[in-house]
Amino acid sequence: MRVYVLNGPNLGRLGTRQVDVYGLTSYADLVTMCVDTGRELGLDVVVRQTDAEHELLGWLHEAADEGAAVVLNPAAWSHYSIAVRDACALLRAPLVEVHISNIHAREEFRHHSVVSAVATGVICGLGVDGYRLALRHLAARPAPEAPDRSA
């Protein structure tokens, strides 16, 4: 199963950005962890990060067209991007929203995610382990049935 792990703005700065909030794991280490975890679970994991909203939208459209599952950390776009939310709503496979920090324990403007309403599940506040848990969840889900094309 193909799984896209997509990351929004500023996540490329992991390991140096607000380490008291986001930890010391670098973005490169996060990528390695996700790919290695996926391999262990039999998943084909593709990890991407962007600071450009239109690029994330394109990747979500690509996942929707492929029927691929998505682990998404929309970062700041979680709180206000209707465009990201609407692209997520196009997905046909599961979507797990991940936040490294506990968005509910931070500034009030971070408490609400417009993406959560269209996500299969949400993991927040567990650091980068949230990505591992999201991948494990997706690997444990029953494989979707292939459409019957005999008719």
- Residues annotated as catalytic are 22, 99
Q: Is 100 annotated as a binding residue?
A: yes
Q: Is 101 annotated as a binding residue?
A: yes
- Do residues 70 and 60 make contact, with C-beta atoms less than 8 angstroms apart? yes
Q: Is 79 annotated as a binding residue?
A: yes
Geometric angle at alpha carbon 141, from 63 and 48, rounded to 5°? 30
Strands (DSSP E) contained in 8-150 are 44-49, 69-73, 95-99, 121-124
Geometric angle at alpha carbon 113, from 137 and 48, rounded to 5°? 55
Residue with tokens 């609400």: 112
Tokens representing 62 are 């690509």
- 107: Cβ contacts below 8 Å, ≥ 6 apart: none
Tokens representing 112 are 């609400």
Residue ranges for the known binding site are 73, 79, 86, 100-101, 110
Binding residues for substrate: 73, 79, 86, 100-101, 110
